């Protein structure tokens, strides 16, 4: 039986429980800047001797700093950095080519697509796609598929995808995912769309690769964290770190949200990446270190639909200009 993990479980508690699983694993994670969930995640698991920690992000200096942080915790862990801009499909392809060229890392046991942006002003990616959709979903979609051979080479491969309770703000807008070129743009609706897409992506990965390639894929809501830098650009009236609770007045979106500590916010990342009791729930959405129950937890049906997942997969292939058959 799984341990009674909950919203108060910390990342360090889970890492201690999963020590034998983490040992000798190769883990690739995007979004590891100091002050992020990814940064805490890699520092936590570094204590238990993974074989490789591959740190991916846009800024070489910030990647180098996180690499130094890991080495100071455990100098025996091999660390490698990878430049990638998830908002650019060209950059994603270049990064994937680099990963696939690493003969000394034949398999990636866990791929954590953690990097994200939230509630930004309207902007298009180089390929002409709304930027939150590009960074939070389409870049990870392409990158994950392009490095899938490395991931599938692991004995028990996993893909972890950062979603959010914010998926409740919007279904995927198949008829207008670009908000009419910005004319109909709402930054919170755009954020919700991208996080719904992430949940549907996890479902598709589990369905397409779960049996023949043993892949497990999970989307994660870490919880609203008082310390995270994800929403640091917003006006304090919309995101106030000093408050223990918040309200975001957007349609039928978030009501009162409990803010988490750093350690409890990153815990579900660790749970998704290593918990040995999740196989029966492949493709699921996780929060507070458990599999979401749609009858109890705040989960919208538009983000758990197999039909919507397949529809989005086909659209995503068109948007990136490449089909992936498994």
Residue 124 resides in a domain: yes
74-110 tens-digit pLDDT: 999 999 999 999 999 999 999 999 999 999 999 999 9
CATH of the domain at 134: 3.40.50.720
Count structural domains, the chain: 1
Q: What contacts 278, CB < 8 A, 6 or more positions away? A: 216, 218, 272, 284, 291
CA distances from 52 to 16, 55, 144 (A): 18, 10, 18
- The dihedrals phi and psi of 101, each to the nearest 5 degrees, come to -85, -5
Q: What is the pLDDT averaged over residues 289-317?
A: 95
pTM of the complete model = 0.92
Residue 89 resides in a domain: yes
* Arithmetic mean of pLDDT over the chain: 90
* CA–CA dist 34, 151 (Å, integer): 26
* CA–CA dist 30, 115 (Å, integer): 5
Q: Give the pairing type, strands 290-291 and 285-287.
A: antiparallel
CA 185 to chain centre: 24
Residue 250's pLDDT is what? 43
Host domain of residue 19: 11-224+266-320
Rg, C-alpha atoms of the chain: 18
10 Å Cβ neighbour count for 252? 9
Residue 231 resides in a domain: no
Question: Token pair 């508690």 is at which residue?
Answer: 13
Residue 143 resides in a domain: yes
* CA–CA dist 232, 257 (Å, integer): 17
Question: Token pair 């068109």 is at which residue?
Answer: 318
Secondary structure (3-state) at 216? strand
Q: Is the pLDDT of residue 315 over 90?
A: yes
- The dihedrals phi and psi of 219, each to the nearest 5 degrees, come to -100, 150
Residue 179 resides in a domain: yes
187-213 tens-digit pLDDT: 889 999 999 999 999 999 999 999 999
* CA–CA dist 33, 37 (Å, integer): 8
Residue 188's pLDDT is what? 86
119-141 tens-digit pLDDT: 899 999 999 999 999 999 999 99
Residue 245 resides in a domain: no
Q: What is the pLDDT averaged over residues 275-287?
A: 96
Q: Is the pLDDT of residue 226 over 50?
A: no
Residue 260 resides in a domain: no
* CA–CA dist 92, 30 (Å, integer): 11
* CA–CA dist 288, 296 (Å, integer): 13
Residue 185 resides in a domain: yes
């Amino acid at each position: 039986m799984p341990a009674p993990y909950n919203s108060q479980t910390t990342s360090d508690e889970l890492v201690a429980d999963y020590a034998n699983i983490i040992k000798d694993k190769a883990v690739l994670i995007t979004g590891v800047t100091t002050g992020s969930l990814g940064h805490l995640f890699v520092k936590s698991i570094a204590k238990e001797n993974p074989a490789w920690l591959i740190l991916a992000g846009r800024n070489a200096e910030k990647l180098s700093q996180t690499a130094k942080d890991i080495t100071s915790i455990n100098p025996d862990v091999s660390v490698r950095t990878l430049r990638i801009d998830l908002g650019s499909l060209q950059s994603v392809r270049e990064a994937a080519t680099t990963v696939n060229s690493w003969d000394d890392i034949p398999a990636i046991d866990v791929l954590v697509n953690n990097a994200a942006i939230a509630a930004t002003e309207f902007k298009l990616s180089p390929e002409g796609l709304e930027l939150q959709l590009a960074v939070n979903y389409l870049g990870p979609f392409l990158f994950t598929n392009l490095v899938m051979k490395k991931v599938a080479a692991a004995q028990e491969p996993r893909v972890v995808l950062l979603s959010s309770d914010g998926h409740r703000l919007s279904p995927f807008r198949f008829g207008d995912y670009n908000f009419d070129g910005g004319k109909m743009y709402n930054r919170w609706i755009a954020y919700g769309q991208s996080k719904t897409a992430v949940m549907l992506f996890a479902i598709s990965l589990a369905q397409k690769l779960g049996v023949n390639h043993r892949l497990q894929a999970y989307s994660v809501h870490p919880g609203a964290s008082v310390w995270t830098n994800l929403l640091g650009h917003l006006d304090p009236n919309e995101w106030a770190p000093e408050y223990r609770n918040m309200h975001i007045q957007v349609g039928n979106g978030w009501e009162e949200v409990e803010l988490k500590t750093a350690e409890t916010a990153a815990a579900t990342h660790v749970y998704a990446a290593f918990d040995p009791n999740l196989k029966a729930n492949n493709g699921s959405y996780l929060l507070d270190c458990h599999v979401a129950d749609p009858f109890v937890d705040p989960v919208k049906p538009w983000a758990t639909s197999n039909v919507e997942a397949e529809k989005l997969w086909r659209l995503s292939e068109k948007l990136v200009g490449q089909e992936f058959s498994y």
